[in-house]
Structure formats: structure tokens, C-alpha cells
Structure 1
Amino acid sequence: MATTQRGAHPLAPLVLDDAGSLEAMAAAVMRLHSTLMSVGRCYTTDATGDRAALELGRIESVLAGAFCTIFGQSPTDRFADIFDQATYVAEHMVKDQIFEDCNKRTSLVFALSVLRLVSSPVVLSDSPEAKDNQYYAWIQDLVSGNRSCADLAEELLRGCVAGTGDPSHV
């Protein structure tokens, strides 16, 4: 990822303006989805052939919209910070229903993985009870539109700050 860059601010959006980085990230999403399907209770199997190619193309489209410069506009121009960018990715992956099953899990885990990749891990309540699980509530609110993407990005930021134990992190 030689041309991968971040803005001067440590929480600036991630910019991936080379095809290799985008392809590697899309392949990582496909592997993540496959892994989540094998450990979760999913009702379909991995896609093959034309379906797999279609899924990969749709993932690349979402990732390009989030991480690449488009018509001269950098992700740093389109997103307030990495949390806004991760929320955008999750929203588009889950609402586009890229996969036959396991869209919410894949979208959530990928968004959190992007934040961890840039040293901004998020810590939310991971209660076994769905009503008390902040990760579950976050993805459900994203899907249903119960909260705005800006509100959801702010929750990720708060979870990052809480996870570091250092409010000066931001």
C-alpha cells in the first residue's frame, strides 16, 4: 500500500488511491465474510463463479466510494474523520445487501477492523443480551435509520476514546 495516506490529523479519513490497495481490501472483505459465515449461523454458503465476481465488484464499488479520490475529491474532503468514513462503509455494505446472508456482521466487523487498522480501536458493550449489546444496537440503528450516520460515527469516536482511556487521544 505504497500510496496509502492519512491526513495530518490522526483520525483523518484513510485514502487508498492505488488499485492494489483497493483490490487487497476487497479481497480481505471477501475472506472476512467467508470466515464469519463459517463461525456464525448463516443460511447460505460462500458464493462461487459469477455470484462471487458480482459480490467482489460490489465490494470494490463501496470501498472506492469510501477510500478513493473521486472526480478530484479526496476522502479527506468527503468525510469528517475515520469514524464517519467507517460508518459510510458499513452503511453501504449492509444496505446494498452484497451477500445473501451475513451482511450486518460483515459490515460491522469490517468497519471496526478499519478503525483498528488505523490504531483507533473501538470498545463498546458486548453483552450477550441483544438489548444491552452496543455493537448490535449500532448495526441495527444503521440498518433501520433510527439514528443518523453522524450520530453513529460519533458513537464510534466515543467508543474509541473510552477504549484508549485517554481523552487527549483525539
Structure 2
Amino acid sequence: MIADVDGRVLPVAPLVLDDAGSLEAMAGAVMRLHSTLLTIGRCYTTDATGERAARELRRVESVLVGAFCTIFGQSPADRFTDIFDQVTYVAEHMVKDHIFEDGNKRTSLVFALSVLRFAGTPVELSDSSEPKDNQYYAWIHDLVARRRTLDDLANELRCHCIVISDDASHV
């Protein structure tokens, strides 16, 4: 996240991945993330194999294309206000498309937060062990339950973004 001289947070442009290699790498990262979450979480399924795994990968790629690639001449910068709108879109589509047999909410949430961290816009929410007090859980659950709009959820991410300054004097 970039701050101006008055300390206000300035928006970070959406990521654009118009080359096949970057898109494939990101899709592969989502698949590895999901696999890792299955092994460390309380999931009821194991990794998909064969045709099911190939179908999941295609569905992940489809969501990522919609978020990170130029489509019919319209870049992600034309479709999303900033990276927060972009990752909220990705999380919504990954969850609602129910790409995986299990772990869709966890995978979409961790992926969205990872993209923000990668872009230099990490978000800090309360990670309480009690679901009712856990902001991460509330964010993804509200997304699934449609209790808040995508704009509301993107704004929540913006509000909890940690401003990273390039100025070492703040350290």
C-alpha cells in the first residue's frame, strides 16, 4: 500500500496477468494452497486426482482469467477500482462456484489475503479462535451468505490494510 505525504492510503491498481505463464503459475499456486489447506485443516476430502483435478484446475483458471486478464480489450484496471475489489471478486467466485469438494472458503480467503500481501498491501484482521469474534471467518462467511455487498467487503479489506512505507525512518 502506498501512502501520500499526508499519510492517506492511496489505492493500489489491480494486478494484470496477460501472459499465459503468469496465469498458469497463479493457478498452480491456488491448487497447491488448496492441497496444503486440506492437509492442515479439518477437511473431509483429499486432493482430487485425474479428471476431477483437471476440472478443478480449469475452473480456477477461469476465475483467475476473469479477475487478472484483459478480456475483450478491457483490462482489470477498467473493471476493478483497485486490488481490493479484484481479490473480493476472486474470493466470491471461488466460493460460489464451489470449485473444490471441500475447503472453498478457506482457499479463497487465504488466496485473497496472499495476493494482497504479494502486492504489498497486507491486511490484518482479528484471528480469534471463536468464529463469532474472528474477522477472517466473518468476512468469508458474509461473502457466502450475501450479508454484505462486494463493495462492503472490499472496503473492510481496505480499512484493515497495513500501510507499508518505503521510508526506513518509520522503522
Please report the TM-score for the alignment, with normalisation by the length of structure 2: 0.89
Residue 103 of structure 1 aligns with which residue? 104
Residue 94 of structure 1 aligns with which residue? 95
Q: Give the 4+ runs in structure 1 shifted more than 4 A.
A: none
Distance 2:163 2:26 in 1: 26
Gaps of 5+ in 2: 1-9, 166-171
Gaps of 5+ in 1: 1-8
Distance 1:146 1:80 in 2: 21
Structure of higher CA gyration radius: 2
Deviation at 1:22, TM superposition (A): 0.3
Deviation at 1:10, TM superposition (A): 5.7
SS at match of 1:15: coil
- What percentage of aligned pairs have identical amino acids? 76
RCO comparison, higher one (Cα < 8 Å, 6+): 2
Aligned residues: 156
CA deviations on 1:78-114 (whole Å, 9 max, x unpaired) are 0010000000000000000000000000000000000
Please report the TM-score for the alignment, with normalisation by the length of structure 1: 0.89
Contact between 2:90 and 2:108, CA under 8 Å: does it hold in 1?
yes
Contact between 2:16 and 2:68, CA under 8 Å: does it hold in 1?
yes
Amino acid corresponding to residue 66 of structure 1 in structure 2: A
Superposition pairs of residues 39-50 of structure 1, within 5 angstroms: 39-50=40-51
CA deviations on 1:3-44 (whole Å, 9 max, x unpaired) are xxxxxx761100000000000000000000000000001000
Does 1:164 find its partner at 2:163?
yes
CA deviations on 1:65-87 (whole Å, 9 max, x unpaired) are 00000000000000010000000
Residue 5 of structure 2 aligns with which residue? none
Superposition pairs of residues 11-22 of structure 1, within 5 angstroms: 11-22=12-23
Distance 1:31 1:143 in 2: 23
